[in-house]
Structure 1
């Protein structure tokens, strides 16, 4: 069961960057639906709180490179991304849920800015959890990206920039509004959050079901 994946404490960091709990996910049911509201997924209260103003239906995975469950889900998430219908976008949002996870969030934002996420995302998980590289600090991560052909100094400059700190704060505030308390968690169109699923395949299938529901509504 993908319920209690990991728990970390809420505390403040970086002079006001609030950090919340993490690595869990997870009430009304339609008997005709294949998934149960309040169990496998949750409808978020209030108006939709989307990650971006693109106008497309969006699928957001809240994740961390420090989360082994995210590493296990990553290949399935890539297949999910490829299977999403036209007019749907897939986005990654890193969760800075602890001091240990901050470097991973900074690394993701820097990699995104440098345009290398697509070719480094799975490889980072692989090196950390399969090959057991010491990828824990920002320096460790800078070495990883340098091995991938990224300019190390430029990576460090972006990862430690005020711009990245501001993005981290903004994204964390939205993650908290979504009620995300663990990773990996999927949020569809700022309206639905994954809950207590039993397998990663179920999480992927439910996401596609919610996406189709959103597309039909539009």
Structure 2
């Protein structure tokens, strides 16, 4: 408890000293004196500051979830896999060139096999270069031919980087009309989906792919099927 109080005092000292009208040199002397007497509090102060920042980020994310839940879970311009009438929604932000997103593929398939009452909303979030943008546009455009799900899984098992040539070859392999696909890639709904993904990801504090929203929980990074199932169960119990 004493060390916690000392750490808190170190963080609050400059603020209190400034309020008392103390000059900058004296504030520095007091801080250095506190550190000399308790050298371990520097590390503890950094930890406490990080915890405070994480708490503030969690609070901000909760507010975003509250205001953006309808867009996250029911955006008519976002692809839905799994059970469209499922009682729990898993939202995944992903990039076709993200190796961790590709590693999530079997985990997501395992979740859908284990729980037929889950719906998955995909947010195309192309942040890894021009190839990623082309892939996202192609995937979203494939909806017009009723082949998003097939194209999505095929892209997720590419053994090479997603670039124009490999993307169009994959489209041909699953029977897409490539000429139509190219035309549809420029539709305004494509740009709208990508921009909405960018806005939502930034608001939620996501810094990379994959990132998940499951109920009221944020799960950035690669997660296993059992972790997904646990979060789905928590979301279902909270309803």
- Which TM bucket (shorter chain)? 0.5 to 0.7
Cα 1:81/1:135, change in 2 over 3 Å: same
The structure richer in helix per residue is 2
Gaps of 5+ in 1: 1-26, 29-37
User: Counterpart of 1:93?
Assistant: 123
Q: How many residues align structurally?
A: 170
Aligned to 2:176: 150
8 A contact 2:96–2:162 mirrored in 1: no
For normalisation by structure 1, the TM-score amounts to 0.67
What do the CA deviations read for 1:98-124 (whole angstroms, capped 9, x no partner)?
Answer: 433211211221123432132232322
**1:173-195 per-position Cα deviation (integer Å, ceiling 9, x unaligned):** 11222222111222113x21114
Query: Where does the alignment leave 5 or more consecutive residues of structure 2 unmatched?
Result: 1-50, 75-84
Give the Cα–Cα distance (whole angstroms) in 1 for the partners of residues 207 and 182 of structure 2.
29
Residue of structure 2 aligned with 1:58, choices 89, 101, 112: 89
Question: For the Cα contact (< 8 Å) 2:93–2:210, is it kept in 1?
Answer: yes
Task: Verify the 8 A CA contact 2:140 2:148 in the aligned structure 1.
Answer: no
Aligned-pair distance for 1:82?
A: 2.5
Q: SS at the partner of 1:90? A: strand
Give the CA RMSD over aligned residues. Answer: 2.8
Task: Report the equivalent of 2:31.
Answer: none
Structure of higher CA gyration radius: 2
Q: Counterpart in 1 of 2:147?
A: 116
TM-score when scaled to structure 2?
Answer: 0.61
Change (3 A) 1:98 1:72: closer
Q: How do residues 1-218 of structure 1 correspond to structure 2 at under 5 angstroms?
A: 44-46=61-63, 47=66, 49-50=68-69, 51-53=72-74, 56-86=87-117, 88-100=118-130, 101-126=132-157, 128-129=158-159, 132=160, 135-137=162-164, 140-189=166-215, 191-195=216-220, 200-201=223-224, 204-218=225-239
